[in-house]
Amino acid sequence: MGLLYGLIAVGLALIFGLMDVVNFAHGEFLMLAMYVTFFLFTFFAIDPLLSAPLAAAALFVLGAAVYLVIVRFAMRAKANVGMVQIFATFGLAIVMRGLAQLFFTADYRSVPNSWLGGKTVSVAGIYLPQPQLFGALVAIAAFGGLYLFINRTDFGRALEATREDPGAVALVGIDKNRVFALGWGLGGALVGLAGAIMATFFYIYPDVGASFALIAYVTVALGGFGSVFGAFAGGIVVGLVEATTALILPPSLKSVGIYAVYLLVVFIRPRGLFGSM
């Protein structure tokens, strides 16, 4: 489960952690990805495994569009940029929830009988649910890919440079909006992957994003802003803590452990585990 949190958080790590832009609609991105998966499954009988790239592509477009239409202008604000970003994306989140209610209704939906859903695999006598296991593998791959992408490609360097000093990169011919739009698209695509896998074992409803989004913020902050590896480590810590808390406390309190660990970590290390900002 921890790696799944990691997978949800990785897209946010890119947007929130690397570009330092607050996205309060992250949970709604996830919700939409789950619906995309659901509809592809219901109407075209495309299994979530196969539709995952489609969900990722859809969310790539959404992410880039959100940046170009909303966030670009929010970042331009002269006064209290942080609050403007928070509330512009929060407003977007409300709109998206409203749209989901309007078009998809508030019913709980699920993807039954997918290739992975409900099946388990036994590893050394321990039964692991397949969707979660697969999600974990995708998460590792996504983190690895993102890590290489950020550190080894020109685009990754351009992204980091743009965050550091948008004025200077303009001088060397990097278009800030292009870089950030691609960054948002990529962040969206990663959430798309997460949503496709989540759809196989989680109910889908308009408010589904909210609970995961908060944990995703905590995961990113726990790992430390500006660090992909941090978000990965954050995801694992969150998963482990949740599992441990579930043993001691009633299930309804399992998130308390996660939150408490976040507080403990930032009180000791105000920059998160591996943060650079």
Residues in the site for other proteins, rule: CB under 8 A?
16, 22, 70, 73-74, 77-84, 86-88, 90-102, 105-106, 206, 210, 214, 217-218, 221, 225, 250, 252-253, 255-256, 259-260, 262-263, 266-267, 270-272
- Min dist CB 46 to other proteins, Å, is 27
- Min dist CB 238 to other proteins, Å, is 12
Report CA-CA distances (Å) from 74 to 15, 156, 184. 14, 23, 14
Contact 84, 74 (CB under 8 A): yes
Query: Between 67 and 225, whose beta carbon lies closer to other proteins?
Result: 225
Query: Between 58 and 84, whose beta carbon lies closer to other proteins?
Result: 84
In a 13 Å sphere around the CA of 34, the CA atoms on its Cβ side amount to: 27
Query: Between 128 and 263, whose beta carbon lies closer to other proteins?
Result: 263
- DSSP 8-state secondary structure symbol assigned to residue 109: B
Query: Between 50 and 106, whose beta carbon lies closer to other proteins?
Result: 106
* Three-state secondary-structure class, residue 126: strand
- Min dist CB 243 to other proteins, Å, is 17
- Min dist CB 188 to other proteins, Å, is 18
Query: Between 131 and 226, whose beta carbon lies closer to other proteins?
Result: 226
* Three-state secondary-structure class, residue 204: strand
Contact 9, 18 (CB under 8 A): no
d(CA 131, CA 116): 5
Contact 48, 114 (CB under 8 A): yes
Contact 89, 70 (CB under 8 A): yes
**Around Cβ 76, how many Cβ atoms within 10 Å?**
9
- Min dist CB 113 to other proteins, Å, is 29
Amino acid code (one letter) for 76: R
- Min dist CB 37 to other proteins, Å, is 21
d(CA 37, CA 41): 6
Query: Between 80 and 151, whose beta carbon lies closer to other proteins?
Result: 80
